[in-house]
Structure 1
Amino acid sequence: MIVNPTPIGWQVIYQQAHALLAMQLAWAWPPFLPPDRWVGLLAAIAQHDDEQAAWHGRGGHHGLTPAGAPANFTQLPFSLEQATGVLHAARFQGRWRSLLTSLHLSTLYEPLRGRQLGIEVFLDELRAGQARWTKELHLTKTQARQAYDLLHWADRLSLILCRQELPEMGREVEISALPPSHQPHASYVSQPAGPGTPAVVRPWPFAVKELEVSVEAQELHQLCFRDDAELAVALRQAPIAPLRWALRAG
């Protein structure tokens, strides 16, 4: 979950919903791949945060911080089960989807090499799979990286929006590197006129002149919960607030 504080509780955005927002952002780009691979890239973006732990609220505190607040995804430890699950699911959609998903997992978890017990085997398997799929699909590393860079870019911009990370006073924040074929290579987002106004993306990468994207959030009017069961009930009963952002060129 992505968890933001509000004056009366918490705003919760499921990670799968954040991934769907990322796919909206990528969908608006002019396609730079053949149709089958473009659709596969969009699928990888939309499903990159699937296979989350099925805690269901049956006791325990998986979804809570030690203080009883809903746990933001950054407050939870690395889950080898979730990472393995999302790669396993990707394989049912073919080698292209598997390659993109594997590259994303490497980006996320390679920094844990040597710091997390038992992760080296998983990371080495990711590298081996990437080399095999790249060769079998007759791709260069640059071609694979160009497609993955869009996944990473869309994921990052979606997180900036969902986590309310647009800086104050119109300052810019870097999104991530654009695919190698785009110049300039760096990209930025800001909100010059303040909250509730269009966000400016620079340089503008989309095929349309203006873009509106959205995600659904749950509104919790309670600060602390006894256990996962109470949190699960609250989430099921929580009012849903659609969040929308207008994007325009800088």
Structure 2
Amino acid sequence: MIVTPIDKGWQIIFHKSHALLAMDIGLNLDPKLWPIKKYWAAGLSSIGEHDNNQPKWYQRENLTASGAPLDYRQREKVDLNQAKSVAKSAKYKSSFIVLMVSSHFQKLYKDDKELEVQKFLEKMSADCGVIITNLQLDKDQVAQCYEFLRFCDDLSLALCQNDFENHKDPVEIDAIEGEGKILLSQLPSGQFQLHPWVLFNENELTFTVEYFTTSTDFYKEDEELKKDLDLLYPKEKRFTLKKKGQIALPLT
């Protein structure tokens, strides 16, 4: 969950909704940035694969010590069971999705000190070597595909996490190609500006994501939080992005 405090209670964006926003971003990017056309559908599908099976309502797994909804950034340990479940599920859908999911797990967990996490990453890396050979893929093109997905995920997270709420500095997002940075800034109007402008199909785009609000601040167990979230009545956040430039240049 992506949790943000509001005047009364909390705003909650589930990771599956964030993943859908990331997919929407990907659909609006220039397909030329995706080097392996054959796996375009699988690539877009893989954007949401790493967020499968969330959340699980059990005792107090989704609450802080004080009883507030637990933001994913507050979790201290890798949910290895969830990661393994995602990896297993991907194998039954598309071997290319396995490549993308593995790349994402490598990014997220490469510095984790847990031995079981490192064994999991090593196993996935070995599996990916077999897949790349079997599909006769170019490793650089596979890496480029992941950078496309990673950009969509990073931009979606920056918007969903309200990264502009407490500071006015632009958020830096790695470009899809090269060593450049994309700067995401919020305008006084509440709209957003990307600079340099990545290769979207339009000069102005509006994206949406569904979220929920709670009626209270703290809970004794997950079930109380679950009951407080009326999943039939989501609210909607809108993000309008405007073009400012076109070529991603390295920061100096």
1: CA distance, partners of 2:64 / 2:36? 45
Sort the Cα spacing of 1:141 and 1:150 in 2 relative to 1 into closer, same or farther, 3 A: same
Question: Which one of the candidate residues 28, 41, 44 is aligned to 1:42?
Answer: 44
Q: Which runs of 5+ in 2 are unaligned?
A: 245-252
* Correspondence for 2:122: 124
Segment of structure 1 superposing worse, 167-176 or 152-161: 167-176
The aligned counterpart of 2:248 is none
Is the CA contact 2:21–2:156 (under 8 Å) kept in the aligned structure 1?
yes
Residue of 162, 180, 191 corresponding to 1:185: 180
Q: How far has the Cα of 1:176 moved from its partner? A: 2.0
Q: Deviation at 1:35?
A: 4.2
Give distance in 1, aligned partners of 2:124 and 2:231.
Answer: 39
Report the CA distance between 1:177 and its aligned residue.
3.1
In the alignment, the residues of structure 2 paired with residue 122 and residue 169 of structure 1 have an alpha-carbon distance, to the nearest angstrom, of: 37
Specify the SS of the correspondent of 1:204.
Answer: coil
Q: Which residue of 2 aligns with 1:208?
A: 202
Q: How many residues align?
A: 240
What is the alpha-carbon distance in structure 2 between the residues aligned to residue 169 and residue 70 of structure 1? 23
Contact kept, 8 Å, 2:21 with 2:209, in 1: the verdict is: yes
SS of equivalent residue, structure 1 residue 146: helix
Return the letter of the residue paired with 2:241.
Answer: L
TM-score by length of 1: 0.89
1:175 is paired with a residue of what secondary structure?
Answer: strand
Equivalent position amino acid for 1:208 in 2:
E
Asked if 2 retains the 8 angstrom alpha-carbon contact of 1:53 and 1:82, the reply is: no
Say what the alpha-carbon RMSD is for the aligned residues: 1.9
1:63-74 matches, within 5 Å, as 63-74=62-73
Question: Are the aligned partners of 2:210 and 2:235 in contact in 1 as well (CA < 8 Å)?
Answer: yes
State whether residues 217 and 241 of structure 1, in contact with CA within 8 Å, keep that contact through their aligned partners in structure 2.
Answer: yes
* Partner in structure 2 of residue 134 of structure 1: 132
Q: 1:199 matched to which residue of 2?
A: 192
With normalisation by structure 2, the TM-score equals 0.89
The one-letter amino acid of 1:143's match is: Q
Instruction: Give the alignment of 1:140-179 within 5 angstroms.
Output: 140-166=138-164, 171-179=169-177
1:239 CA displacement = 4.9
Residue pair 1:147, 1:179 contacting (<8 A) in 2 also = no
Distance in 2 between residues matched to 1:149 and 1:46, nearest whole Å: 15
Compute the displacement of 1:166 (Å). Answer: 2.7
Q: Is the 8 A contact 2:151 2:174 kept in 1?
A: yes
3-state DSSP class of the match of 1:111? coil
Q: Which of the residues 222, 233, 251 maps onto 1:228? A: 222
Q: How many angstroms apart in 1 are the aligned matches of 2:127 and 2:60?
A: 35
Structure 1: where are the runs of 5+ without partners? none
User: Kindly tell me: are residues 88 and 224 of structure 1, through their superposed partners in 2, closer, same or farther at Cα, counting changes over 3 Å?
Assistant: same
Contact preservation (8 Å) 2:50, 2:83 = no
